[in-house]
Structure 1
Amino acid sequence: MIFAINEINNNPRLLPNITLGFHIFDNLYNSRTTYEATLDLLFKQKNNIPNYKCGRKDVFSVTGGLTSEYSMQMASILSNFKIPQITFDSFEATVSDKSDFPFSYWTAPRETIHHVGIIQLLLHFRWTWVGLIVSDDDAGESFAQKLSSLFIHNNICIAFLIREIVTHFLLNNYWKPECTERIMELMQILISSNASVIILKADALLSNSLTYLMEINEIKKNTNVGKVWIMPLQWYFSTFLKGELIGRNIFFGAFSFSVHTDTVPGFHDFLLNVKFDKTLSMFLCFFWRLALLRCENCREEYLEDLPAKVFEMDMSGESYSIYNGVYAVAHALHAIYFSRPKAMLHKVNVEPVNVHPWQLHAFLENIHFNNGAAQEFFFEKKDLSIGYDIINWVTFPNETYLKVLVGRVSSSQNFSIIKDAIVWNTRLKQVPPHSICVESCHIGQSKIVQEGKPLCCYDCTACSENMISNEKDATHCVKCPGDHYPNENHDHCIPKVISFLSYQEPLGIVLVSVALSFTVITCFVIQTFLKNWNTPIVKANNQNLSCVLLIAILLCYLSCLLFIGKPGKLSCLLRQMTFGIIFSVAVSCVLAKTILVVLAFLATKPGNRIRTWLGQKVATSIAFFCSLQQVCICIAWLLSSPPFPDVDMHSQTGKIILECNEGSITMFYCVLGYMGFLAMISFTVAFLARKLPDTFNEAKFITFSMLVFCSVWISFIPGYLSTKGKYIVAVELFAILASNTGLLACIFLPKCYIIIFRADFNTKMPSS
């Protein structure tokens, strides 16, 4: 404060021709002394009469106190006189609201920034399981409640909450007998807990008492408390009379939050040149003798040589807040003086005017200035716009310490930290330590909260099918998009591969090659029959039906090409129906041929009129009528629920199957069932006529061909139902090719063999 006032008085542009003065009072950390000192500050002859102006001093503002409790006690008096009070401690909304202190201004950051800074620090290192030790009073309870609320919103849990008060350990400055047992219970909690981070909220007396007793207990029990401590606001190491740090090993590597400071030019030189005049001797000489443990008179040459634990040459957070508070008042006075019209004309020499303390409020609320460190400041809802520095405390065996700046929380709650600058406690088992209730769930897993336990205590379960988690401790797994699927570890989604039976893949090439090869063979058989059209063996087996059957077989082979390639609307409509109708024509022809064989045998008996049924019209009518039934079934299929191209994303992992949806599976099985019905009739009739005496009796060959046909399609059904993707198409194509080849091989290849290789068997017609 003295340094700031000297700077202001020496600045001709700020308050020219005006000199600021100051009074300093010490409350001795006592509430009664606080009230008395506040009244002594206001009245000249110690006639402390509140609410009356009896010889009052010219006090424009008051700076203090060190804690919120003392600040509120001072404000209860100062508010009666509307005197601006500059408070350099954070406002703690325990039992009061800021509206209860309309004439108070806070130069320390808002309390919420400190809370957010703690949360950000915990989240940065993934510390979700922390211990909390607070003072058993309004301030400690308020701190615990507000932090607990933030913990819930950020998935952080409290491992234990301990409330302590100094009277648990001290009575009239003497240790109580039961303090040993109480500190042992506290130590047991700290050692047994798997929480590696402890947040402490207590005043200096309580924290020093706890620390001292913990150190004694460590020595007695030969145990170590290896934890990361987050200390109270504006915390500093305390020392014993001989200079030993209290809690040097316990708080090694601890974190604390201090008001953000910038280097103020000239402050170091000011401390080196400070003069011990009569106004300062009461304070400085007492401190001097205590710091040096000497009884000699005040001397100035030792100041720079004092260790930091005794006296810091850098401006502390509290000092920086006081410095800014003094400058805020000075700028408010500047605004008042230079707001007068006369003063505006004579800025160089401002005449003193009567200013009352209450007049400063309108200017303080809108103050905006740069301090001596060129840092911009303004009050935002009576809080100065400033953030916190994050300090890492490093201690040394020679009972000294080093404050390492490792991060910052700005007034806008932006968080930053330098991990490489942090020095961790050597007692920790790993650095940075883990402070979690259970081990983190790996990528590809999600959390399941254990019943009756905090949210941070959970089990891990692997993500189910088609679900992933790409971060540790995921609250739930995320479903992959429809065109993606999870990888083996379920930590990211992979695009699915489009799958259909194409002409380019080996299976497609083989099937096309087989179909085209048998197409060529069928053409060769047709050519052979046409070339030997009038030979006995061709005539005996009904030339026209054989020709229609061969054409149907040829078209069946070609219809296989409709099943290969990317499914389209037209190909899906044509392929099943084309195959069903053509195959029905083929089987109908076989049935007609079989019936004709039976009729031909019966016609050989004398006087039998069945001979009249052996004409070409009967065979054609049978084939046409049987084929027409299949055409009607297919038309009904088209009208009711026709096939259409579809996409199957679920049958096969990692694949998008392009397929033809049959529309109505019932109609599809009706088509197959009708073909099977025709085949069974043909098989039955051919089986009964297999031993008929006829030179060119083909009933045996038809029986075998129908046996092959039925076997193939019966085995097709379970294969079709158990196969997925493009292999369904391959199974159906195999059935078509196999059954078609059975007809071709069993019925026509023996005839071709006779025509080509055994012409002597093809010399006469069978006897009529």
Structure 2
Amino acid sequence: MKLLSLLIVLIVFQEQISCFSLNIPASPGYYQDGDFVIGGLFSLRVTSGDTRNMFNFNDTLYFPEFVYEDLTKNYQHMLAMVFAIENINKDQNILFNMSLGFYLFNVDFIEVKAVESSLALLSGESPPVPNYSCRPEKTDKLVAVIGGISTGISTQISRVLSLYNVPQISYAPFDQSLGTRVQLQSPYQFPSPTTVLYQGIIQLLLYFSWVWVGLLVPDDMRGEVFLRDITEEMTNHGLCVAFAEKGEVYTSEDPAYWKIFLKRVQLPRVMLAFGVTHAFQTSFPIFTLYSSFDNVWITTSDWYITALPFEQDLIYTYFSAGLSFSVHMDEILGFKDFLGSVQPRKYPHDIFMQDVWSIIFECPRSYQYNVRELSQCEQNGSLSTRPLHVWDMNTSPSSYKVHAAVYAIAQALHEELSLRVEGGSLDQSVLQVPLPWKLHPFLQQGQLGRSSNTGNIMNKEVSATKLDIFNYQSLTSGTKAQVKVGEFVFESHSVQRLSLNDELITWGENLNQTPVSVCSQSCPLGFRKTPVEGKPFCCFDCVLCPDGEIANETDMDHCIKCPEDQYPNKQRNQCLPKIKAFLSHEDTLGAVLTSVAISLAAFSAMILGLFICYRDTPIVRANNRNLSYLLLVSLMLCFLCSLIFIGQPSTVTCVLRQVIFGVVFSVAVSAILAKTFIVVVAFKAIKPGSTLQMWMVTRLSNAIVCCGSIIQVCICAVWLGTYPPFPDVDMQSEFGQIILLCNEGSTLAFYCVLGYLGFLASLSLLIAFLARRLPDSFNEAKTITFSMLVFCIVWISFVPTYLSSKGKTMVAVEILSILASSAGLLGCIFLPKCYVILLRSGGHSRKKLLK
């Protein structure tokens, strides 16, 4: 029995020797005892890194770290945990009159320190002794741990704590991939409203018409997921990614790379930064040293620019136009008053307050055992009096998470203790701290999410309905601040609302108005976009809309074709109603043609009157006056039938004008053919021995006129019976006009009418040409030959001219052809006779004619 007792003493003594044989300075922690202890791992500084070996904490010479920056605002995270624990301890009902303690460490942003501090929580000493419990009074009370600030640090903490199944709550931004990095149990995470955040960013970009955006994301899985999702959302809403920069810019030692990066940053006027601030904080000096441009930075609450204490004037100069999204949080009741009452003598054992207080109040500092101590510093100062760039009295998102994490652990303890009370096993005189892993079932029932190795996430996202939008500003008092300028409320993809107060937003020192971020300037009205090969769809050229199409909005991908009854204006941004056009009597051309037609018809009537008056003269009688009367009447009707072509087309006029034209002209040409026939036959009939009699000639001429006219009537009857002319519209021939016209119906029938007239005219021309050598006196062969030649030339030229004309011109061409051919017949045949009748009527006789 004595031997066994001696062995136990030796083992305990050896353990104590191991715990106290460390020859390097401890990484100090802030410990406050309680019935239960919660560990806390926070990041208060940016240092040069750990100089000790990662695997052996005992035998390495220690060198003091170089501190780049003291992030004084991150001390609020610790105070949020202290504040929550103090409130819980004041409420005796939560833990059944038991108390909470804490053990806090600063791990900076170094993953090795996170591992070391996690081991220190388990061994009770710092530096730690793995697999030893040097301070059972500390380690046996540990129930959970809160930390760290980033995914990398949270991962290293979890790799240690998960070996002992100690619950860990991370206050880092939610990372779905965290479960795949930890081999055993992953930490609990606070849900992140990623869907709401994406939609809020998209709506903000659309609100200001920022379509050309640069992205700055961390080079990790979380950055990859964000880049993939936000790019997809932007593309769906017509927005483009100008470039996407991953990782730390400052890691490159080549200054040329920085200049290339800054040149890329100048392309878009809007930069979207995602990720925690410390992942890019060494890039900020590059912006302040090299950048002379004015970008608008859109960030999330994780991008906490105001946490950086260095060169605040420069930071706010280059980020003063920034807009930040933050999940709407209710103020923690009493937390501001608590922060205002914090003083070093109130918490004399808080070793971290020594550093923070000396920085915030700009006190002289001295180093002793690598711990900053207050020296000649204002002991009664209040944090509420300090400027924003070194301290912010408003609750940061991370502080809010830490405070909520403490209450989540306290609630889990309450539920575990409640089960023991109901079972009658809770005896405060013999206190037994619950084993840490017994809290897992209770933590899983809360609103915390947890990643697993299989990728399943419990309650990974609770849709936050509101995001607050802040603007980095320099206030009139000289204070730098984040001012709330709007909010985004999200209920569903179909129900969301963005509200902004534009008057509260400042766009930096060099911007007087809302900046524009586009790859290409908007295409004005009347122009459409055309893509540029090799560039995103936000980069385009502007092309004028083609004829007949308009663009009544800016940046249209395709022009809109105007309806048939409308036409585009000169700017091609509006469709105007087309004007109905036809050859009317009010038009200048219509009035001229009408006047000419009536004048020629009147002239024909005068010649007819003249022939009637001098009907007994030899020249009238010698040329078959009945045919002359008929020809003059038909020519007069030809002139008048052209009037039917003038005016708005109707069913009646469309049918009558071609039929009347065809029939009247066939009568006129048939009469000319009959006159030509009579000229030839008359001279043959008077020769001695001729068997032809004049009465037979007269009857034959009448038969020619009747047959020639009846055939044309039959052609017109077939035309009207099959496919008659009808009123129609032509919307394409004339720009801005709807041409009212007559559709000829059967084109074949129309050209049959013209062809038949051509046949009669050609036959007359041929016969007259053969009779040209007959005696000159009262011989109409020459005049008929010339008149038929004019007639044929007019109508031969009519066909190609008619086919190449459009709109009102077609009608005018046909009218001119009618008038020209009729006038040619009238002038060539009857003007010489009028000359003879009026000027030489007395010198002719039947005898002279016979000679």
Superposition TM-score, scaled by structure 1 size: 0.75
* Cross-structure match for 2:304: 236
Change (3 A) 1:765 1:357: farther
Is 1:196 the counterpart of 2:269 in the alignment? yes
1:387 aligns with one of 466, 481, 486? 466
Separation in 2 of the partners of 1:722 and 1:395?
74
**Does the aligned pair in 2 maintain the 1:200–1:232 contact within 8 Å?**
yes
What aligned pairs does 1:74-93 form with structure 2 within 5 A after superposition?
Answer: 91-93=174-176
One-letter amino acid of the structure 2 residue matched with residue 744 of structure 1: L
* Cross-structure match for 1:164: 247
2:232 aligns with one of 149, 152, 158? 149
State the 1:306 CA deviation.
Answer: 0.9
* Cross-structure match for 2:26: none
Separation in 2 of the partners of 1:164 and 1:649?
62
One-letter amino acid of the structure 2 residue matched with residue 627 of structure 1: S
> Which of 1 and 2 has greater Rg?
2
1:311 aligns with one of 377, 391, 404? 391
Change (3 A) 1:761 1:710: farther
State the 1:162 CA deviation.
Answer: 2.6
What aligned pairs does 1:730-745 form with structure 2 within 5 A after superposition?
Answer: 730-745=812-827
Is 1:585 the counterpart of 2:667 in the alignment? yes
One-letter amino acid of the structure 2 residue matched with residue 312 of structure 1: D
Change (3 A) 1:609 1:404: farther
Separation in 2 of the partners of 1:66 and 1:280?
24
Q: Deviations over 1:94-132 (max 9, x none)?
A: 4669xx99997856533x332233333444444444333
Query: Any idea what SS the aligned residue of 1:482 has?
Result: coil
Is 1:409 the counterpart of 2:521 in the alignment? no
* Cross-structure match for 2:537: 455
Change (3 A) 1:10 1:27: closer
One-letter amino acid of the structure 2 residue matched with residue 256 of structure 1: S
* Cross-structure match for 2:327: 259
2:283 aligns with one of 184, 198, 210? 210
* Cross-structure match for 1:478: 560
Separation in 1 of the partners of 2:275 and 2:795?
86
* Cross-structure match for 1:562: 644
Query: Any idea what SS the aligned residue of 2:796 has?
Result: helix
Separation in 2 of the partners of 1:502 and 1:62?
96
Q: Deviations over 1:661-714 (max 9, x none)?
A: 334444433322322232233234334445644654444443343333233323
* Cross-structure match for 1:651: 733
**Does the aligned pair in 2 maintain the 1:86–1:107 contact within 8 Å?**
no
State the 1:530 CA deviation.
Answer: 5.1
One-letter amino acid of the structure 1 residue matched with residue 392 of structure 2: E
Long gaps (5+) in structure 1: 170-178, 335-355, 366-378
Higher mean Cα deviation, 731-740 or 72-81? Answer: 72-81
Higher mean Cα deviation, 267-276 or 672-681? Answer: 267-276
Change (3 A) 1:496 1:300: farther
* Cross-structure match for 1:376: none
Change (3 A) 1:242 1:422: closer
* Cross-structure match for 1:186: 258
Separation in 2 of the partners of 1:331 and 1:719?
98
2:754 aligns with one of 656, 659, 672? 672
State the 1:207 CA deviation.
Answer: 1.5
Change (3 A) 1:762 1:397: same
What aligned pairs does 1:549-628 form with structure 2 within 5 A after superposition?
Answer: 549-612=631-694, 614-628=696-710
**Does the aligned pair in 2 maintain the 1:201–1:231 contact within 8 Å?**
yes
Query: Any idea what SS the aligned residue of 2:243 has?
Result: strand
One-letter amino acid of the structure 2 residue matched with residue 393 of structure 1: Y
**Does the aligned pair in 1 maintain the 2:580–2:738 contact within 8 Å?**
yes
**Does the aligned pair in 1 maintain the 2:271–2:296 contact within 8 Å?**
yes
Change (3 A) 1:101 1:400: farther
Separation in 1 of the partners of 2:478 and 2:110?
30
Higher mean Cα deviation, 455-464 or 633-642? Answer: 633-642
- Equivalent residues, number: 718
Separation in 1 of the partners of 2:595 and 2:400?
90
Separation in 2 of the partners of 1:83 and 1:70?
16
Query: Any idea what SS the aligned residue of 1:494 has?
Result: strand
Higher mean Cα deviation, 664-673 or 38-47? Answer: 38-47
What aligned pairs does 1:67-466 form with structure 2 within 5 A after superposition?
Answer: 91-94=174-177, 106=190, 109-110=193-194, 112-165=195-248, 169=251, 179=252, 181-191=253-263, 194-216=267-289, 218=290, 224-238=292-306, 244=312, 247-260=315-328, 272=340, 287-294=356-363, 295=374, 299=379, 301-317=381-397, 382-395=461-474, 400-412=479-491, 413-426=496-509, 432-466=514-548
Separation in 1 of the partners of 2:142 and 2:630?
126
Is 1:546 the counterpart of 2:653 in the alignment? no
Change (3 A) 1:449 1:241: closer
Separation in 2 of the partners of 1:81 and 1:495?
82
Separation in 2 of the partners of 1:242 and 1:18?
45
Q: Deviations over 1:366-407 (max 9, x none)?
A: xxxxxxxxxxxxx99851433323333235899852324444
One-letter amino acid of the structure 1 residue matched with residue 824 of structure 2: G
RMSD after superposition = 5.2
Percent identity over paired residues: 40
**Does the aligned pair in 2 maintain the 1:285–1:298 contact within 8 Å?**
no
Change (3 A) 1:435 1:584: same
Change (3 A) 1:81 1:123: farther
Query: Any idea what SS the aligned residue of 1:250 has?
Result: helix
**Does the aligned pair in 2 maintain the 1:224–1:427 contact within 8 Å?**
no
